[in-house]
Amino acid sequence: MIVLGIESSCDDTGAAIYDSERGLLANGLYSQVELHARFGGVVPELASRDHIRKTMPLVRQVIADAGIGQDEIEGVAYTAGPGLIGALLVGAAIGRGLAMGWGVPAMGVHHMEGHLLAPMLEPQPPTFPFVALLVSGGHTQLVRVDGIGRYELLGESLDDAAGEAFDKVGKMLGLPYPGGPHVAELARQGRIGQFEFPRPMTNRPGLDFSFSGLKTFARTTIADRTQDGVLAEQTRADIARAFEEAVVATLVIKCRRALEQTGLRSLVIAGGVSANQRLRQVLEENLAKINSKLFYARPELCTDNGAMIAYAGCKRLLAGQRQDLVISARPRWDLESLPEIHASSA
């Protein structure tokens, strides 16, 4: 089955063509980073308007890149939530409308399910069951995954998401939005052990996270070390390094705990922060010690993209699920509420 996927939940317009027989045929992305940069964060109304401008040209581009005719598309998947409601509605209206016009079924996809399944697009995909660490700009969750739609939430952030903490600390360090990749880049010049950031909620049991304290700790540290309005370049990098180490260490402790608790031996990391090299490296070292395996997607499939939506939508369409004719989106949407797909159809 050939499926067009559309992603528009936040500040990236993504479109992709996935074929259940041949794999990913085309993947296009238009990032709105420059549009929002001067505001230091995403402006929802500007995001919606830009999705309106960019989605159809991107859809045409991926159809051409895939080397197919539009009449070969057998289903349309779009992100139906969670995310910014205006942005979501653009993708939902276009996706639903195209499907109706082409006379093919449509599927509204859960954005985090898309992230969670993205590593399935890699040559050596994980097999069920596994533990998934979802780390994006809006979510930090540990999920037990027994199949598509068989999700049990093991823990989540009680306040900021890991990506959000990266973005806020990036802003404090004077780095462009989104801060995550820039903090990671700056941390490379940083020396380990110059600052000791806390590892929040690791010395008590449970799998929940809290990242807002780390952000406050960063703010205080930066203020302490700023003299006459100047923070020395090396100190800036050392702070970035210490912050990244603290986030990584905290995530690693909770992932190990989740594997122990479930008795599972595969960990999937997904979402924008899973592109972080240091997180991958430390997790890989740790999991090797406990005879467990780490799975992740290539960097462009970790951050928001249309490919993961096309893939998740294709799985659900193949299982016979269909979106009704109503154009709808949900800014909040519980991952555990998704219907299950039985192994035979997945």
Please report, as ranges, the residues that interact with Zn ion according to CB under 5 A.
136, 304
User: What pairing do the DSSP bridges indicate for beta strands 266-270 and 23-31?
Assistant: unpaired
Could you tell me the smallest distance in angstroms from the CB atom of residue 137 to Zn ion? 7
Residue 179 binds: one of ligand KG4, Zn ion, none (C-beta under 5 to 8 A by kind): ligand KG4
Could you tell me the smallest distance in angstroms from the CB atom of residue 279 to ligand KG4? 7
Enter the tokens of residue 299: 């960097």
Stretch that binds ligand KG4, among 152-160, 161-169, 190-198, 286-294 (CB under 6 A): 161-169
| Ranges of H-type helices in the chain | 33-37, 44-66, 85-102, 111-117, 162-172, 179-187, 212-225, 233-262, 277-289, 299-302, 306-318
When asked if residue 184 is in the footprint of ligand KG4 (CB under 6 A), the reply is yes
162-172 and 233-262 are packed helices; what angle lies between their axes, rounded to 10 degrees? 170
Could you tell me the smallest distance in angstroms from the CB atom of residue 97 to ligand KG4? 24
Taking the CA atoms of residue 91, residue 95, residue 98 and residue 101 in that order, the dihedral angle to the nearest 10 degrees is -120
When asked if residue 271 is in the footprint of ligand KG4 (CB under 6 A), the reply is yes
Q: What would the DSSP string read from start to end of 186-241?
A: HHTTSPTTSS----TT-SSSSS-B--HHHHHHHHHHHHHH-BTTB--HHHHHHHHH
When asked if residue 107 is in the footprint of ligand KG4 (CB under 6 A), the reply is no
Stretch that binds ligand KG4, among 32-40, 269-277, 285-293, 325-333 (CB under 6 A): 269-277
When asked if residue 276 is in the footprint of ligand KG4 (CB under 6 A), the reply is yes
Residue 196 dihedral angles phi and psi, to the nearest 5°: -115, 105
The answer to whether residues 28 and 65 touch, using CB atoms and an 8 Å cutoff, is yes
Among 137, 155, 190, 313, binds ligand KG4 (CB under 6 A): 137
Stretch that binds ligand KG4, among 84-92, 116-124, 136-144, 255-263 (CB under 6 A): 136-144
Coil, helix or strand for 180? helix
How many of the other CB atoms lie within 10 Å of CB of 322? 12
CA distance 313 to 318: 8
The candidate with the shortest Cα–Cα distance to 331, out of 141, 114, 88, is 88
When asked if residue 95 is in the footprint of ligand KG4 (CB under 6 A), the reply is no
When asked if residue 94 is in the footprint of ligand KG4 (CB under 6 A), the reply is no
Among 273, 297, 301, 312, binds ligand KG4 (CB under 6 A): 273
Q: Per-residue contact track with ligand KG4, 303 to 322, x per CB under 6 A?
A: xx------------------
CB nearer to Zn ion: give 8 or 136: 136
Enter the tokens of residue 176: 């462009």
CA distance 271 to 152: 18
Among 108, 149, 180, 200, binds ligand KG4 (CB under 6 A): 180
Could you tell me the smallest distance in angstroms from the CB atom of residue 25 to ligand KG4? 22
When asked if residue 292 is in the footprint of ligand KG4 (CB under 6 A), the reply is no
Could you tell me the smallest distance in angstroms from the CB atom of residue 287 to ligand KG4? 19
Q: Which residues pair with 108 in a beta bridge?
A: 78
When asked if residue 178 is in the footprint of ligand KG4 (CB under 6 A), the reply is yes
Among 136, 140, 250, 286, binds ligand KG4 (CB under 6 A): 136
CA distance 310 to 328: 18
Task: Verify cis geometry, omega within 30 degrees of 0, for the bond prior to 82.
Answer: yes
Contact footprint for ligand KG4 (CB under 6 A): 10, 115, 136-138, 163-164, 166-167, 178-181, 184, 271-273, 275-276, 303-304
